[in-house]
């Protein structure tokens, strides 16, 4: 066959692949802007756009969805049983408040539970101290799930504790994300497995369900010990949160410790992820605690691309649209889509004190620049954007009036809204809300308030760069 014929066949097959991608986009797209951008790229530059679409174009985690629908019936029964344990949320003469929180229950398919104790862990030092203590005190099993795990001092301390507990007969299940933990040495995992831990990578999935899906990441960071104490928040397992990594300033981040029935929701989230990654169904303790740990009402809200709705986007929209006096949000990545930005503007216009805390020093210069492009429209409607000065602020916290607060893993960006598996702990506990308020006030003291001139007075090249990078928001 002549070379020209081979080239023609290759080009034809490439355009057929591009048309197949377009077909998939038309059946599944959620935003017209994103769909149009992909279609133009696929038809205009298929040799570039087709590989990119296969890597980054999908927004639903199809393999996980199929596993959820066809998975272990025991897991389905556990999820359904826990979801049906709805807890009333009394709020005298305030039915709207009750409805607002029940929406969150429906989004996460989990109930608000009573009888919990929720403790704010303000920084890496407090978090690691609590994590180490909980693991040392575990007597039956330890469940870990983290986006980033490093083989540094913190990572080695974790491994040493786990190996010691395994020798004592405690079972350990260790789940990590293969993208976030790409630099974790294989020897680290092999040594844990040799000590008796069950180790699995979320991104690969099990052999039957494996798909080419680099764009979907498990961004959750959680720990459960014996089914009675759990931890969730923004802190990964690494020295950067202690300031001991390469002499850098410590990352500013937040976690929370939960004791009580809400830990069941955290454990169920872990179990669904583990079942996907390993096709195993560990025997865990699902019995309710004999005594109440406290009086806090807590909801565990998992979100991700396998959900029927854009649950993370709806969570933020629900918080923003229902805020009345105050809405304080802390996020290391501020690249909101138009509906989140519009909701923030409307909240500010109706008189809500809207404050967004973002870092001055970002670990992603692209996202740091893109955040500048929102400054003018934010300031014009009264949204206050603060940049945290000392070190990199990585916490994901939201405070809605004096009514509830959330600490978790979700950022104000497209990746958290549509691509990552995330989880947040939401509580109405007054003491926890007061702790979050005090923490954020202290953080605000270490911030500078931004103004329109921070963008308008910069060079034309800078402003063009910010606007151009913002076009990449769906991929950042």
User: Is the predicted pLDDT of residue 245 greater than 70, yes or no?
Assistant: no
Give the pLDDT score at 208.
44
- Would you state the pLDDT for residue 200? 94
Contact 216, 61 (CB under 8 A): yes
Whether 451 sits among the annotated catalytic residues: the reply is no
Residues 315 and 294 in one domain: no
pLDDT exceeds 70 at position 207: no
| Residues pairing with 249 in the sheet | none
Q: Would residue 232 count as lying in a domain?
A: yes
CATH of residue 376? 3.30.870.10
Over residues 367-375, the mean pLDDT reads 88
Q: Which domain holds residue 83?
A: 63-99+109-298
Domains in the chain, number: 2
pLDDT of res. 9? 75
- Give tens-digit pLDDT for 267-289: 999 998 998 888 888 888 887 67
Q: Is 285 a residue of the active site? A: no
| Annotation marks residue 159 as catalytic | no
Same domain, 321 and 190: no
Helix (H, G, I), strand (E, B) or coil at 384: strand
| pLDDT value for 343 | 97
Rg of the chain on CA atoms, in Å: 23
Q: Is the pLDDT assigned to residue 175 strictly greater than 60?
A: yes
- Catalytic: 190? no
In the predicted model, what is the mean pLDDT of residues 327-335? Answer: 96
Q: Specify if 233 maps to a domain.
A: yes
Q: From the candidates 337, 384, 396, 443, which is the catalytic residue?
A: 396
Burial class (CB in 10 A: 0-12, 13-18, 19+), 303: buried
Choosing from 159, 165, 221, 255, which is the catalytic residue? 221
pLDDT tens for each residue of 425-436 = 999 999 999 999
What percent of the chain clears pLDDT 90, i.e. is strictly above it? 55
Reported as a pLDDT band with limits 50, 70 and 90, residue 160 is very high
The better pLDDT of the pair 85, 195 is held by 195
246 and 342 both lie in a single domain: no
Residue 394 bears catalytic tag: yes
**Which residue reads 């991929």 in tokens?**
475
**Which entry of 159, 165, 177, 226 is annotated as an active-site residue?**
226
Does the pLDDT of residue 311 top 50, yes or no?
yes
DSSP three-state, residue 333: coil
pLDDT score recorded for residue 280: 84
User: What pLDDT does residue 212 have?
Assistant: 46
Q: Give me the residues paired with residue 328 across strands.
A: 355, 399
In a domain, 8, yes or no: no
H helix intervals, 92-248: 95-108, 124-137, 153-167, 186-195
What is the pLDDT confidence band of residue 214, given thresholds at 50, 70 and 90? Answer: low
Average pLDDT value for the chain: 86
Whether the per-residue pLDDT at 184 is higher than 90: the answer is yes
Q: Which residue has the tokens 């786990």?
A: 162
């Amino acid at each position: 066959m002549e070379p020209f014929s081979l080239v023609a066949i290759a080009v034809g097959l490439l355009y057929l692949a591009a048309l197949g991608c377009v077909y998939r986009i038309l059946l599944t797209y959620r935003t017209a802007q994103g769909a149009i951008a992909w279609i133009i790229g696929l038809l205009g530059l298929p040799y570039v756009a087709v590989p990119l679409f296969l890597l980054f174009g999908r927004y639903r985690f199809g393999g996980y969805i199929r596993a959820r629908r066809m998975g272990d019936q025991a897991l389905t029964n556990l999820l359904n049983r826990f979801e049906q344990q709805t807890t009333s949320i009394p709020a005298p003469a305030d039915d709207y408040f009750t409805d607002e929180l029940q929406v969150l229950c429906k989004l996460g398919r989990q109930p608000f539970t009573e009888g919990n104790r929720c403790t704010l862990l303000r920084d890496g030092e407090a978090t690691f101290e609590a994590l180490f203590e909980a693991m040392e005190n575990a007597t039956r099993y330890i469940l870990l799930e983290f986006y980033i795990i490093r083989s540094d001092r913190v990572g080695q301390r974790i491994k040493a504790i786990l190996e010691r507990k395994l020798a004592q007969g405690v079972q350990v299940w260790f789940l990590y994300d293969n993208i976030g933990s790409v630099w974790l040495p294989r020897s680290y995992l092999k040594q844990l497995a040799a000590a008796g831990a069950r180790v699995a990578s979320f991104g690969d999935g099990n052999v039957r369900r494996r798909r080419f899906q680099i764009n979907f990441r498990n961004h959750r960071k959680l720990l459960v010990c014996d089914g009675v104490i759990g931890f969730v928040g923004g802190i990964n397992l690494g020295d950067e949160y202690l300031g001991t990594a390469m002499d850098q300033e410590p990352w500013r981040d937040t976690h929370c410790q939960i004791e009580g029935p809400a830990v069941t929701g955290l454990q169920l989230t872990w179990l669904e992820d583990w079942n996907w990654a390993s096709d195993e169904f560990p025997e865990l303790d699902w019995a309710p605690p004999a005594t109440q740990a406290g009086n806090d009402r807590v909801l565990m809200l998992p979100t991700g691309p396998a959900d029927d709705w854009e649950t993370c986007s709806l969570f933020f929209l629900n918080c923003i649209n229902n805020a009345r006096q105050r809405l304080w949000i802390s996020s290391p990545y501020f690249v909101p889509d138009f509906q989140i930005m519009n909701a923030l503007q409307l909240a500010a216009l109706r008189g809500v004190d809207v404050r967004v805390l973002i870092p001055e020093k970002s670990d992603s210069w692209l996202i740091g620049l893109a955040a500048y492009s929102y400054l003018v429209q934010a300031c014009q409607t009264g949204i206050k954007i603060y940049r945290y000065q000392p070190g990199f602020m990585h916490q994901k916290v939201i405070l809605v009036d004096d009514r509830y607060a959330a600490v978790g893993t979700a950022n104000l960006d497209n990746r958290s809204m549509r691509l990552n598996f995330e989880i947040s702990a939401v509580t109405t506990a007054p003491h926890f809300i007061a702790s979050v308020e005090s923490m954020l006030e202290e953080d605000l003291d270490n911030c500078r308030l931004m103004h329109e001139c921070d963008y308008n007075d910069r060079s034309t090249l800078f402003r063009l760069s910010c606007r151009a990078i913002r076009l990449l928001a769906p991929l950042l």
